[in-house]
Structure 1
Amino acid sequence: MKEYRVKGLSCGNCAQMLEHQIQQLENGETAKLSFNSGKLLVDERVPLSEVKEILKTDGAYLVDESDHHDEHTEHDHDAHDHSHGNKKMYLMLGTSALLYALALTLDVQVAASTLILLYLTATAISGYTTFIRGLKNLLRLKFNIDTLMTIALIGAISIGEWKEATLVAILFGLNELLEGLGMEKARRSMESLLKVAPKEATKLENGNEITVPIAKLAVNDIVIVKPGEKIPSDGQVISGKSSVNEAAITGESLPVDKSEGDPVFGGSINNEGVLHIRIEKAYEDSSLAKILHLVEEAQETKTPTELFINKFAKYYTPLIMIVAALVMVVPPLLFDGDWSSWLYQGLAVLIVGCPCALILSSPIAIVSGIARNARNGILIKGGVFLEQLGKLDTLAFDKTGTLTKGEPYVEQTIVYDESKFFEVAAAIEKSSSHPLAKAIMKEMSRRGIEAKSADQIETVSGRGIVATYEGAKYWLGNEKSMGHLNIPETVQSSIQQLKEQGLTLVLVADDNQVLGMFGIADEIREESRSVITQLHRIGIKRTVMLTGDHHKTAEKVANAVGVSEYYSDLLPEDKVAKVKELADQGVVGMIGDGINDAPALATAQLGIAMGKGTDSAIETADIVLMQDHLGKLPEAVTVGRRVNRIIRFNIAVSLGLKLLALLLTIPGWLTLWIAILSDMGATIFVTLVSLTILIQKKNQP
């Protein structure tokens, strides 16, 4: 499949028809033409000349990326380009409007033939491309907006409605221009996200600095990133210190300090110091490349609402044509109506048959919603997931690494022998990489205790460690590792007390007694409680915590963060079963870290992963929070709900204005200019309302 950029698509409905025609070509069955992104995917075997001819019928054309579509090529097209910056279209519409104003001013002062000439010239200047396309479509019996407008123009001129025909041609041209501008604005917002990718990198080779395209970088290459430059791909700092802006990946504007050994993401910006970075991924495998690819793909997916609108539009236009024919013939034949008046009314009804505003109800809102969330570091893999996000009523959370940091810390200590307890614990845990050992060593560091080294360290699986320190033997681990002792009731009581608080215990003992114990907990994220509160406030009915931890730990975290319910002691398959059970009662989103929660994420109607760019998170979920916290989740849900609300509102406005125009035929009040204004008004309105999704106040999260 080859990808081409297409310009000049006049509307979503037209793009759909062009796609259908390209699919009829030999080997063209898999062709996809997206109005949202202005891109065409087509099999390389399909003759490009035939594709160009099909596009030309709607005034669209392929952009030659290799030549950057130079000006000469652009002027070779006989049809206007609806994209932003088309001076020719502005000039044509401006000239037509001036001629129309001149004709209105001279209405009673010049001969009728002069007025007709002015009106005809104005109509031809602004409407000739529509007229040519419409005639071609009429000969093929293909009925789209151009065909309807052409029939209406011919009919209006044939009954002497010169003034109305001219106004319709000008307004239709303006409508098409504004429609193109609206979609282009949403596309540009999306494209501005895609420009964050760096183009070149400074590679260190045999002591020399050479500039290479990022596509040429290989794993283990060393690159130098100076202040203000973009980091070319994912890697690790091998020397230098600086702060880095990771907004392109995470949406977080606050810089992150980096020094030797720290990971960095491609596309992030180095602020002040010079960094030497070892590349760990070729650019196409980097987090940024995957994000940009997924953001581009997200524009192509059609939501259930869009599919319904497109299906509805197929039947809507022929139905309006039948209604128009009935309006033209029934009143004169059955009720002695005036043929000329009812022919005029029928022509006006034809214009109401344009489904452009209706088809535009969804795509601009969807692209705007995806772009807005991507700007905040929230990666939504398609419009269908954005729509689903707006429908959520239940959110299930994994505990470890999601509501908590996934980093154990010492919450309580009970000491029976001050002189030995900390010193022995530090010596035994010093060389261990176990998460609980790291928590204990962090506590030792906080207390300023220097760790010496223990001897003959022996690990007993599932229990703890036996070690020798300064000639004496010591035990460190859970209660089961203290089997050599007769633990007194007071110590037993303390153990029970800490366990009831949901803490994990690490005891330290010698030959005779317990020296003390650590009560270790998984640190709750600072933002978890406020996020849960916000989610309830914006209408999420149920927040559910799912964890493999035991009941007391789960209860403690659930109470601390404020979830509405929790389930503990769950195996991965139990989480899947619980998500299925919740899905039977509402629309469920499951949030996890994208690594051990993959089955549950896949089972939920919407899988949401947090991961700060981890591959597994990006690949597993439908939505990825690129930060390593939940802070932006409520805003993502709010944007999803707003998009759904705006789409419903747009559909109501589009159909409502058309219904109102059709009702005006009953007393015979519908005019050609009211008909075109009903469609134009709806188009402008749904475009502007959809673009408001992109607006983000500076103080918003």
Structure 2
Amino acid sequence: MQKTYRLENLSCTSCAAKFEKNVRDLPAIKQVNLNFGASKLTVDGNVSIEELEKAGAFDHIRVYPEKEKVQHIPFYKKRQTIETVISFLLLVAGIIVSFQTTETSAWSIGLFGTSMLVGGYHMFWTGLQNLSKFQFDMKTLMTIAIIGAVIIGEWREGAVVVFLFAISEALEDFSMSKARQSIRSLMDLAPARALVQRQGELLEMDTEEIRIGDVLIVKPGQKIAMDGTVASGTSSVNQATITGESIPAYKQPGDEVFAGTLNEEGALEVTVTKHAEDTTIAKIIHLVEEAQAEKAPSQKFVDRFAKYYTPAIIAIAFFVALVPGYLTGDWQLWIYQGLAVLVVGCPCALVISTPVAIVTAIGNAARQGVLIKGGIHLEETGRINALAFDKTGTLTKGYPEMTDVFAEKGYEEKDVVKLAASVETMSQHPLARAITKQSPSVYRHGNFQSITGKGAMAQVNGMHIAVGSLEWAREHRLAIPERYEKLQHEGKSVMAVFSEMELIGGIAVADPVRHESQTILEKLKGMGIKETIMLTGDHPVTANAIAAEIGLSDVRAGLMPEDKLTAIKELQQKYGRVAMVGDGVNDAPALATATVGIAMGGAGTDAALETADIALMADDLEKLPYTIRLSRKTLRIIKENIIFALGLKIIALLLIIPGWLTLWIAIFADMGATLLVILNALRLVKIQK
């Protein structure tokens, strides 16, 4: 039986690997999957929480059921922090006493020894256990170094090293907790309980008990607990938690609402359409956690490198301790130098350099309404050279709007619109809705008739009024002005409004270009994207007209889904890494083939969440430059982190040559590198749209 648990105190990658191994070794366990980024454990087997916590006792790992809220202890109240403070006070007392007496006096040794035990007894216990099994991780190396320092009489130095290591552990735990904060904040968004109207009764119940079809009562200022549609009431709903957009969306009966969003003004009755585990916010949390577990290419490289790095450091430490010691006879100096090499060589900073950046970037993107489904997609987005766009719903709004109205002699524009709306009010055609939206009132009408491929007609105010194609008007021997034809060449759908006797006017309808499309394309070119391309199934006339309006030079029109896929392959041969931006439904083959598939308007669209590598949860192109900027910054920070992690250690190791390397410098190099890579990665939190 598969169960998922959330973990507390999981801050070190090597500790996570050891915990996973310990759990795997439990007798009843069939399969284990530990997600370090999300601090989450999935096990298949009959095992208790007590057994799991025992497996993580070496690092005080706490285990909680997935549904249960994890108890987050403030930093200053944590056992690790308290022990570090006590260790520091004992260290200071020891230093003061050693100045009054000597470093090797009974009082000095007692205080330094107690400081080491308080600050490092967990490390020593784990290190000795690892040593007995020939497992060489960070704590093993530190344990050998501290025992060695004590043997050669460096009590003060050993105590300082233990204290600095305790500080680095505490700060690493604090920093990783900050990096995971975005996921925790998402988990706390949707209320755990809701007010439900069921069979005429008002009941407050847990969201897990709510069924599809139940009606939620959502008061002003409350968060919506479940996905659903508005049954009654109107209100403004802040959907920033899902889409990243801070401007509230106006909701009325029939509109979709999401769990975790805030009802700002009016009272709403919402009919539930999804179970708690299937809501959009639940899917986002699941996908983000899975994304943080997936190893990016750079992380795989670091993991492979670290596998050989640690044994190499141990070999170097033995060489430094034995060879110069044998040649010079100064065994104490070179054993000390060898111990310092062990400390400085701890691979912690290197191993954590990539995952902390990936976790922070994906979490930040989720808060901004961008769902990135893995570290590999984050890295690939930072390397793309060309972007292909679907037209409808991506560069355009995806629904028709009335753009032009012509009135012939004897009529006004408002008469043309009202007559057309009186006919189209009974039509289901998408173009009809664009007209009826513009006329709040209509004439008395009847005898509606739809003529396939031509238009519609009805009896309006005693006249036969027809709304349809220009060709249909010509069949009635009506002359069509040139200005109507001109609009058709601009890619607009032009409808004639006429009676049996005369042409009354014309209405042009088009899928309007998003006002931000041109600006976004300019931003992308400014960011170094080599080429932007439109791939559309629309007519070439319409596609070229829109491309000219927004500044696109490469247009491929009249494409079927399989043609878009072929076009993506051709672009990849020409430009290398190519991203495709579409709606996630009819663009599925192209999105899947592209280096990175980016779906527009992922909120509430299962196809977009499942098909694309990245989903822009709001129907907002502005998120595209942000996503590319975040990806590039993440790539840069990963490279910087690897350089910091290795560079500081190389500099410290070079101090061996003149014999300047001390345990203090070694631990500062190790601690400094670890904190530097974590703090550098946390800079990604500041990147905003």
TM range (shorter): over 0.9
Partner of 1:437: 432
Tell me, yes or no, if the aligned pair for 2:240 and 2:246 is still in contact at 8 Å.
yes
RMSD of aligned residue pairs (Cα, Å):
2.6
Instruction: State yes or no: 1:134 paired with 2:134.
Output: no
Change (3 A) 1:652 1:233: same
**1:129 Cα deviation (Å)?**
1.3
Structure 1 partner of 2:670: 679
Matching residue's letter, 1:648: K
Q: Which runs of 5+ in 1 are unaligned?
A: 72-80
Cα 1:207–1:52 shift into 2, 3 Å: closer
Query: Is 1:602–2:592 an aligned residue pair?
Result: yes
Aligned to 2:515: 526
User: How far 1:117 moved relative to its partner?
Assistant: 2.1
Report how far residue 14 of structure 1 moved: 2.6
Percent of aligned pairs sharing the same letter: 44
Matched residue SS, 2:45: coil
CA distance in 1, matches of 2:41, 2:318: 36
Matched position secondary structure for 2:340: helix
Distance 1:198 1:395 in 2: 39
Match of 1:587 in 2: 577
Distance 1:201 1:397 in 2: 41
Whichever residue aligns with residue 442 of structure 1, its letter is K
Shift of 1:586: 2.5
Deviations 1:128-181 (A, max 9, x none): 211111111111111111111111111111111112111111111111111111
Whether the 8 Å CA contact 2:444–2:461 is kept in 1: the answer is: no
1:371-390 deviation digits (Å, cap 9, x = unpaired): 21111111222222222222
CA distance in 2, matches of 1:241, 1:60: 47
Given the alignment, which residue of 635, 648, 652 partners 2:643?
A: 652
Partner of 1:218: 211
Corresponding position of 1:572: 561
Question: What is the letter of the counterpart of residue 389 of structure 1?
Answer: T
Q: 1:472 to 1:65 in 2, by over 3 A?
A: closer
Deviation at 1:355, TM superposition (A): 0.8
Distance 2:41 2:60 in 1: 15
Please state if 1:640 is matched with 2:641. no
Q: Any idea what SS the aligned residue of 1:320 has? A: helix
Distance 2:45 2:23 in 1: 13
2:420 aligned partner, one-letter code: A
Whole-Å separation in 2 of the counterparts to 1:636 and 1:176:
32
- 1:560 and 2:549 matched: yes
Name the SS of the counterpart of 2:371 in structure 1: strand
- Verify: 1:246 aligned to 2:239, yes or no: yes
Correspondence 1:374 to 2:366: yes
Question: Which residue in the other structure is 1:3 paired with?
Answer: 4
| Within-5 A mapping of 1:274-673 | 274-333=267-326, 335-416=327-408, 418-419=410-411, 422=417, 424-445=419-440, 450-455=442-447, 457-460=449-452, 462-465=453-456, 467=458, 475-482=466-473, 484-486=475-477, 488=479, 491=480, 493-511=482-500, 514-584=503-573, 585-611=575-601, 612-673=603-664
- Alpha-carbon distance change, 216 to 8 in structure 1, aligned in 2, over 3 angstroms: closer
Deviations 1:88-118 (A, max 9, x none): 3223222222222223223343253322222
Q: 1:404 to 1:129 in 2, by over 3 A?
A: same
Question: Paired residues, what number?
Answer: 681
Displacement after TM superposition at 1:345 (Å): 0.9
Distance 1:669 1:294, change over 3 A: same
What does residue 198 of structure 2 align with? 205
Counterpart amino acid of 1:606?
Answer: V
Q: Match of 1:325, SS?
A: helix
2:4–2:65 contact (8 Å) kept in structure 1: no
Q: Is residue 328–residue 342 contact of structure 1 (8 Å, CA) maintained in 2?
A: yes
Distance 1:388 1:418, change over 3 A: farther
Distance 1:509 1:120, change over 3 A: same
For 1:182, give the aligned amino acid: S
Letter in structure 2 aligned against 1:209? L
Specify the alignment match of 1:74 in structure 2.
none
Contact 1:122 1:166 in 2 (8 A): yes
Shift of 1:664: 1.2
Q: Does the Cα contact within 8 Å between 1:10 and 1:58 map onto a contact in 2?
A: no
Q: Which runs of 5 or more residues in structure 2 are unaligned?
A: none
Cα distance in 2 for partners of 1:113, 1:605 equals 67
Residues 514-543 of structure 1, C-alpha deviations (whole Å, 9 max, x = no match):
543323211111222222222222332222
Tell me the amino acid that sits aligned with residue 3 of structure 2: K
For 1:107 and 1:427, locate their aligned partners in 2 and report how far apart those are by CA, in whole Å. Answer: 98
Secondary structure of 1:531's match? helix
Counterpart code for 2:513: I
Quote the Cα distance in structure 1 between the aligned partners of 2:598 and 2:443: 42
**For the residues of structure 2 that align with 1:415 and 1:216, how far apart are their CA atoms?**
59
Compute the TM-score of the two structures, normalised by the length of structure 1. Answer: 0.91
Q: Please tell me whether the aligned partners of residues 327 and 343 of structure 1 are also in contact (alpha carbons under 8 angstroms).
A: yes
1:557-607 deviation digits (Å, cap 9, x = unpaired): 112223352211111111111122222323222111222222222221212
1:242-301 deviation per Cα after TM superposition (whole angstroms, max 9, x unaligned) = 222112221222222223333222221112222222222223222222222222322222
Once the two structures are superposed, the pairs formed by residues 10-159 of structure 1 within 5 Å of their partners are 10-25=11-26, 28=29, 30-45=31-46, 51-63=52-64, 84-110=75-101, 112-114=104-106, 115-159=108-152
Residue 99 and residue 270 in structure 1: after superposition, are their counterparts in 2 closer, same or farther (change >3 A)? same
State TM-score, norm by structure 2: 0.92
Q: State the distance in 2 between where 1:393 and 1:322 align.
A: 44
Question: Displacement, 1:673?
Answer: 1.2
Deviation at 1:217, TM superposition (A): 1.6
Q: Which residue of 2 aligns with 1:78?
A: none
Kindly state the Cα deviation for residue 651 of structure 1 after the two structures are TM-superposed: 0.8
Retained in 2: the 8 A contact 1:231–1:266? yes
CA distance 1:48–1:253, change in 2 (3 Å): closer
Matched, 1:188 2:181: yes
CA contact (8 A) 2:116 2:158 kept: yes
Q: CA deviation at 1:336?
A: 2.9
- Distance apart, 1:654 and its partner CA: 0.4
Gap change, CA 1:56 and 1:466, over 3 Å in 2: same
1:218/1:418 CA distance change after superposition, 3 Å: farther
Asked whether the equivalents of residues 13 and 310 of structure 1 are also in contact (C-alpha less than 8 Å), the reply is no
Per-residue displacement from partner, 1:4-53 (whole Å, max 9, x unpaired)? 22333351123124324544555646312232222221112467666544
Query: 1:487 deviation in Å?
Result: 6.0
Q: Which stretch shows the higher mean deviation, 38-47 or 598-607?
A: 38-47
Distance 1:331 1:605 in 2: 53
Deviates more, 1:384-393 or 1:621-630: 384-393
Counterpart code for 1:11: C
SS in structure 1 at match of 2:312 = helix
Mapped to 2, the partners of 1:149 and 1:653 lie a distance apart of 21
Rounded Cα–Cα distance in structure 2 between residues aligned with 1:668 and 1:535: 53
Residue identity in the other structure for 1:543: T
For residue 679 of structure 1, report the CA deviation from its aligned partner: 0.7
Query: Is the contact made by 1:380 and 1:622 (CA closer than 8 Å) also made in structure 2?
Result: yes
Q: Residue type matched to 1:532 in 2? A: L
Contact 1:233 1:266 in 2 (8 A): yes
Are the aligned partners of 1:242 and 1:258 in contact in 2 as well (CA < 8 Å)?
yes
